[in-house]
Structures are given as structure tokens and as C-alpha cells.
């Protein structure tokens, strides 16, 4: 095997291999961009399938049959999701009663800011009116674009939710067929390597997903307890909301901290409350990054933070929020695959978080 890889490296010069790699990456970007309408639900379904596979296997061991086991697993997921959505909706209804108050307070702050600028910069009333008119015009022009984006995102979400259970069912039902397909795709003497890759991908994906769900649960408790201790209203809603956004690596928890911080700034009794909110989320972020995620998710799933940030940017550009969620675990899966193939081991090392000299 090693002799074959050595001869292949001598046969093909580096510039040719680099050119082919670059062309392949360009084609991959084009396919991901134009094929997201079908690739995105397939990617989500693949992750859910690998997450549910142990549950389905366990139920099959109880002589339930494969189809009933899959349907029962999907029903269990539906019940859990319904409970989470009901909890968040109930908390949001309570929070929504304060939205008019937040809006009025925001208007007051905006007016005070404009008056401060007028006194500091020397804007006349006519200039201020012109700036406001321009701002309103731009807002109206862009509101149509934003509305279209929201409608498109909502339609995509409903399409994804309707296709996802169907895709998950068939992926779990025909899982042996897909394993056999990969074995037939390569030479027979490489079947052991293929088995190892499939097992590792399954293990890494399950570790990542189960660990991520566990981390989200712990973050929800820590966020809620912290906000309750500082006396912030709607602490449960803000705590659970911020923890759910942790599904977006690195920046999710920062985005989740913005609504309670804005709420504390606008409706807080003093400037101490926003500072306490920052302290709570800063402490939780420190614990999550240094203790919770490394211990729960494990080093086997860890990837290079720089590569993770690139994956976030590229995923967000290609697939939006779904891409930001999916591309980081996809990088982890690619790392596992690359480390099993001799010619791709350098790329696996680059994606990993283990420094060797």
C-alpha cells in the first residue's frame, strides 16, 4: 500500500496534483451552492440518522422490526421537540408583553441620541429631518428584501421539516445497502479500510451530536440560574434561547447574549444589571470553552479552531444558518476520513487540533 502511494507521488508532479485539487474544490463549491435545496436536507437527515441509529438498533433487538423501530424513534424525537417548542413559546408569550415597552424605550434612547449628536456635531433641524427621511427611505427599500428573505427562509424551513423524517426513515431502513455500496465502490482489499472509516464516522458524529445536546442542556441550566441570581426578568426564556444558539459554534452563545443584554440596558433599574448580564454570559462562555465542551464532546471530535471559523464563514455564505450549523461537524467527519487514507493524511492533520513537530 505504501509502495503504491510512493510510486503515485513520483508519477504525478506536485503542481498537477495541486491543480486537480483546486479544480475539485471549485467544483465542490459550485455543487454545494446550487445543490443546497437537496444537499441540505440530506446532510441534516444523515446526522439525525447517525444519532438515532443506536436507538433503532436497540428497539430492533426487542423484536419490534426495523420499520416500527424507526417510526417509534421519530415519534420520540417529535415528542421531545414539541416539549421544547412549547416551553419556549410559553416563555416567549410572557416576554412579548414587554415588547411595546422595549420599543418605546428604544425610541426614547434614539431621540436622546439624536439630540446629543445635534448638540455635539451641530446638526440643524433641517439636516436632522433630511437624515431621518433618508434613513426611512432606505429602511422601506430594504424591508422588501428582508421580507422576501424571511418568506424564503420560512418556506425552506417548512420544506426541510417535511422532507427530513422521510429522508431519515429511508437512510435508517437501507443503512446496510449504503455500506455495501461503499464496499463495492472500492477494491475488495480495501474493505477493511472502508469498514474502519464508516465506524469512525458513525462514532465521531454520534459523539458530536450527543455531546452537543448535552452541552446545550447544561448551558440552559447555567444561563437560567445565572440570570435568576441577578434578578433579570424572563430569565428562563433568555437562558434557554441563548443555549439553543450554542448549536452555532463559537459565535452562537455571543448572539444569544445580545437580547438579555439589550433588555437589561433598556429596562434595567441601573447600569449594574447589564454588567451582571455580561458577567453571567462571560463566565458561562469560559466554562463552556475550557471545561464543559472539551470533557463532554471529547478531543476525538475537536478540530482546528481556525478551520472551524473558516467552516462557519463558508457555511454561512453557502447555506446560511444551516451551513453554520452543519459545516463544523462536516469538517470533523472529513478529518476522520482523511486520517484513514495515506495520501490525505496531511489534510486530516491540518484539520485536527493536535500539533506535531
What's the pTM? Answer: 0.73
Torsion of CA 327, 332, 335, 336, to 10 degrees: -130
The C-alpha atoms of residue 292 and residue 93 are separated, in whole angstroms, by 31
**What is residue 193's predicted lDDT score, i.e. its pLDDT?**
72
**What is residue 162's predicted lDDT score, i.e. its pLDDT?**
79
Burial class (CB in 10 A: 0-12, 13-18, 19+), 105: middle
Taking the alpha carbons of 339, 344, 346, 348 in that order, is the dihedral positive or negative? Answer: negative
Closest CA to 50 of 177, 168, 211: 168
**What is residue 255's predicted lDDT score, i.e. its pLDDT?**
86
**What is residue 9's predicted lDDT score, i.e. its pLDDT?**
45
**What is residue 144's predicted lDDT score, i.e. its pLDDT?**
54
Average pLDDT per 10 consecutive residues for the chain, totaling 357 residues: 45 78 86 88 90 91 90 93 83 74 70 66 61 61 53 60 88 90 76 76 81 89 93 88 82 85 80 90 88 70 77 87 85 82 82 71
Which phi and psi angles does 65 have, rounded to 5°?
90, 155
- Nearest-10 crossing angle of helices 36-61, 305-319: 120
**What is residue 3's predicted lDDT score, i.e. its pLDDT?**
46
**What is residue 332's predicted lDDT score, i.e. its pLDDT?**
80
**What is residue 69's predicted lDDT score, i.e. its pLDDT?**
94
**What is residue 156's predicted lDDT score, i.e. its pLDDT?**
61
**What is residue 6's predicted lDDT score, i.e. its pLDDT?**
43
Q: Are 44 and 161 in contact (CB under 8 A)?
A: no
Look-up of cell digits 455500496: 181
The C-alpha atoms of residue 279 and residue 260 are separated, in whole angstroms, by 12
The C-alpha atoms of residue 43 and residue 47 are separated, in whole angstroms, by 6
> b/e string for 217-238 if b means 16 or more Cβ within 10 A?
ebbbebbbebbeebebebbbbb
Amino acid at each position: 500500500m505504501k509502495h503504491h502511494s510512493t510510486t503515485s507521488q513520483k508519477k504525478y508532479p506536485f503542481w498537477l496534483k495541486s491543480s486537480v485539487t483546486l479544480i475539485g474544490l471549485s467544483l465542490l463549491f459550485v455543487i454545494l451552492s446550487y445543490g443546497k435545496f437537496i444537499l441540505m436536507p440530506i446532510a441534516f437527515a444523515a446526522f439525525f440518522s447517525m444519532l438515532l441509529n443506536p436507538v433503532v438498533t436497540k428497539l430492533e433487538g426487542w423484536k419490534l422490526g426495523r420499520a416500527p423501530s424507526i417510526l417509534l424513534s421519530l415519534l420520540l424525537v417529535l415528542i421531545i421537540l414539541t416539549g421544547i417548542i412549547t416551553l419556549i413559546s410559553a416563555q416567549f408569550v410572557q416576554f412579548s408583553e414587554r415588547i411595546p415597552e422595549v420599543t418605546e424605550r428604544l425610541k426614547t434612547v434614539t431621540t436622546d441620541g439624536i439630540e446629543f449628536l445635534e448638540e455635539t456635531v451641530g446638526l440643524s433641524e433641517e439636516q436632522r429631518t433630511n437624515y431621518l427621511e433618508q434613513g426611512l427611505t432606505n429602511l422601506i427599500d430594504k424591508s422588501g428584501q428582508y421580507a422576501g428573505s424571511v418568506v424564503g427562509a420560512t418556506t425552506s424551513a417548512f420544506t426541510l421539516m417535511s422532507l427530513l423524517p422521510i429522508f431519515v426513515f429511508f437512510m435508517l431502513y437501507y443503512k446496510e445497502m449504503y455500506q455495501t455500496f461503499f464496499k463495492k465502490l472500492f477494491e475488495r482489499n480495501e474493505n477493511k479500510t472502508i469498514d474502519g472509516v464508516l465506524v469512525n464516522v458513525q462514532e465521531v458524529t454520534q459523539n458530536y451530536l450527543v455531546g452537543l445536546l448535552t452541552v446545550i442542556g447544561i448551558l440552559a441550566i447555567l444561563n437560567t440560574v445565572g440570570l435568576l441570581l441577578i434578578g433579570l426578568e424572563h430569565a428562563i426564556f433568555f437562558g434557554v434561547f441563548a443555549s439553543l444558539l450554542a448549536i452555532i459554534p463559537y459565535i452562537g452563545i455571543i448572539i444569544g447574549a445580545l437580547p438579555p443584554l439589550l433588555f437589561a440596558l433598556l429596562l434595567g433599574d441601573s447600569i449594574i444589571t447589564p454588567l451582571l448580564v455580561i458577567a453571567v454570559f462571560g463566565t458561562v462562555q469560559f466554562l463552556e470553552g475550557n471545561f464543559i465542551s472539551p470533557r463532554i464532546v471529547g478531543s476525538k471530535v475537536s478540530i482546528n479552531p481556525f478551520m472551524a471559523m473558516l467552516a462557519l464563514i463558508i457555511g454561512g455564505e453557502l447555506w446560511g444558518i444551516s451551513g453554520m450549523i452543519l459545516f463544523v461537524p462536516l469538517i470533523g467527519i472529513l478529518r476522520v476520513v482523511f486520517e484513514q487514507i495515506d495520501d490525505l493524511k496531511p489534510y486530516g492533520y491540518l484539520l485536527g487540533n493536535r500539533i506535531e513537530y
